[in-house]
Structure 1
Amino acid sequence: MAVQLKRVYDDPSPGDGFRVLVDRLWPRGVSKERAAVQAWAKEVAPSTGLRQAFHRDGLPWDEFERSYRAELAENPALDALRAELARHPVSTLLYGAQDPDRNHAVVLLDELGL
């Protein structure tokens, strides 16, 4: 089983496999058809407060990462997502953030341990 990350704004490709949006909010300007999302796991996204603190208020990355990992540790949706991903040979976690290295999907993938 392989799990990869990709911006939801990038074109879908056959190599994406099972496509899961992991943002709490639907990405602006992207239709459901263009996104080609098979599942929307908004329950595993950072809480609204944490997301706003990071994107709007300038919460440092290390604090965001630590807080998000703490949220995931108590989130039963993480195990549900892990089980769903295990049913597919290839899956892609889709996110809307511009930074490919410092976004919640990077942390989520690490916490999934896949």
Structure 2
Amino acid sequence: FKNPPGSNLSTGKMIDEMGMKGEKRGGAVVSPVHANFIVTEGEGARAADALALAEEIRERIRRERGIELEYEVELWRAGGEAVETGRAQSSNEAVNAGQPERVEPSRGETGSAKEGSEPPC
């Protein structure tokens, strides 16, 4: 997640202070090293797991701190359509909107997904 604009707040520190390091959803986990990273465990991890965990983090910070977090990554469907991330959405809405998701870093690097399959994180 991006750090909140116009402040000295660290998103990683807020996540850590809420005790979410090590929090798991399926094969995705909040990194025990840096709380602003979601990492995967094993080959069974799915993009849906990472998105569900990310949305839980966003919701908790929104509810407990009144801060709306923005993704630092861009989310794209396998067909090339961007997923709207400027508003809260359920992970089912993002993932099950027709095609599997792939998560691409915002720095222009690209990911790939085999058509018709759930891409790994």
Same fold, TM-score > 0.5, yes or no: no
Structure with the bigger RCO (C-alpha within 8 Å, sep 6+) is: 1
Shorter-chain TM-score tier: 0.3 to 0.5
Give the TM-score of the pair, scaled to structure 2: 0.31
Of the two, which has the highest radius of gyration?
Answer: 2
Give TM-score scaled by structure 1 length: 0.33
Name the one with the larger helix percent: 1
